[in-house]
Amino acid sequence: MNKVLIITGRYLPGYRDGGPVRSLINLTEWMGDEYDIRIMCLDRDHGDTERYPDIKVNEYNTVGKAKVWYTPEFKKEDIQKLADDVDLVYVCGPYSDYARLAMSLKKEGKIRAPFYVASMGSFSPEAFNIKGLKKRLFISYMKMTHMFDDVSWSVTSQREEHELKAVIGSGCKCVVASDLPRKGTTEHTHIKEDGSLKICFISRISRKKNLIAIPEILKEQSDDCRIKLDIYGADEDKVYLRECLDKLDELRKTHPDCRWEYKGEADGSKIPSIFAEYDAFLFPTLGENYGHVIAESLASGCIPIISDTTPWLDLAEKGCGFVCPSGDITSFASAVKELYEMNEEAMSAKRGKCYDYITSANDISVKHSGYRTIFG
């Protein structure tokens, strides 16, 4: 059984990093019986000053099907120590301190095992333009110092591979390994009411997730429509969150029956049951390399309305969601209006298509997972 060391910022019991943590949970659940998966991560969740309770620091803890090494900070000597005992090193994302430390160890020849870096959507035009100057300077430095020379890349799609090579160089070695889904589906618990729509937004509160577009989308609805919007997400950008909530407050002046509430961050383990309480998931994101929340909305019978900057481009074709051009407020508004006008019978049929679609997609992604190519 091959030993795989995954180096990442955070893992269970943390959940505030959203998709990256969920990706690893799903990976270990599906692959933990085939591989000896070891995870090195920080000993506290995003924004916390106190470490997780009941963990052993600087030694392995058994967490589900993985062995997890919690550390208060990443040090080169610790990374090298763990890397010396595995068959492959897999680093989550290129920009973090731990990624730079690990890549420098690989360049120095101190990590001898095969070495992969997960792109994690870092090179999409939308993501790359956020703090773009800082990222371009980093990439230029890494190229100049040949830090990428012995690195292979894990990408989730051919599109992501193309975006990565446009930034790093066409000679990069890439393996396509789509993120794996959460196991199972969740029974939908909400009954659609005529003349109303219950919508949720579940994601980190950051500019990339584009929450600020939602007030504009809802503004295009009839001023007497009854819409309930609930927002879930860690407020990692408090200034941006305030901008979004101010716009929603403005919306109330023209659409008094459009109600909203910011619910704070959601425990990752409860997200499927949260989705099951809503008619639709409105997610005008600027870019996702996978989009776990989209998969989880489908698996809970919550109809996704998403932008075309994710891999889930065939939802409309399969009759289980809406895919709108990024930035096209009118297209998003039309999708909301269509669901608003549906009765429970039509919504139930659409939910059934969600379950059929995600069950088939999950079976295919697990059976043909590129992680087996990477892990060996």
CATH class of 197-362: alpha beta
- As a whole number of angstroms, the distance between CA 288 and CA 209 comes to 9
Question: Looking at residue 357, what is its pLDDT?
Answer: 96
pLDDT attached to residue 15:
83
Would you tell me how many other CB atoms lie within 10 Å of the CB of residue 157? 18
Q: How many residues does the chain have?
A: 376
Q: Class of 3-180+366-375 per CATH?
A: alpha beta
- DSSP calls for 93-143: -SSSHHHHHHHHHHHTT---S-EEEE-TTTTSHHHHTTTHHHHHHHHHHHH
Listed in sequence order, the residues at least 6 apart from 197 whose beta carbon sits closer than 8 Å to its beta carbon are 225, 226, 227, 228, 279, 280, 336, 339, 340
Predicted confidence at residue 115, as pLDDT, reads 98
- Of 130, 162, 98, 133, the closest CA to residue 240 belongs to 130
User: What is residue 334's three-state secondary structure?
Assistant: helix
> How much is the pLDDT for 77?
97
Q: Do domains 3-180+366-375 and 197-362 have the same CATH topology?
A: yes
Q: Which residues on adjacent β-strands are paired with residue 175?
A: 154
Residues paired with residue 70 on neighbouring β-strands, in sequence order: 41
Query: Going by C-beta distance under 8 Å and a sequence separation of 6 or more, which residues neighbour residue 46?
Result: 9, 10, 14, 16, 17, 234, 236
pLDDT in tens, 165-190: 998 999 999 999 988 988 889 999 99
3-state secondary structure of 10: coil
From CA 267, how far away is CA 289, in angstroms rounded? Answer: 22
Per the CB < 8 A criterion, the answer to whether 254 and 219 are in contact is: yes
Angle at 47 between CA 311 and CA 60, to 5 degrees: 80
Domain residue spans of the chain:
3-180+366-375, 197-362
Closest Cα partner for 232 from 181, 278, 287? 278
CA distance 202 to 233: 6
Which stretches in the chain have pLDDT values below 50? Answer: none
Indicate whether this model's pTM tops 0.85.
no
17 Cβ contact list (under 8 Å, min separation 6): 9, 10, 45, 46, 204
Predicted pLDDT at 109: 95
For 92-114, write each residue's pLDDT tens digit.
999 999 999 999 999 999 999 99
Share of the chain above pLDDT 90, in %: 77
Q: How far apart are CA 315 and CA 208, in angstroms?
A: 21
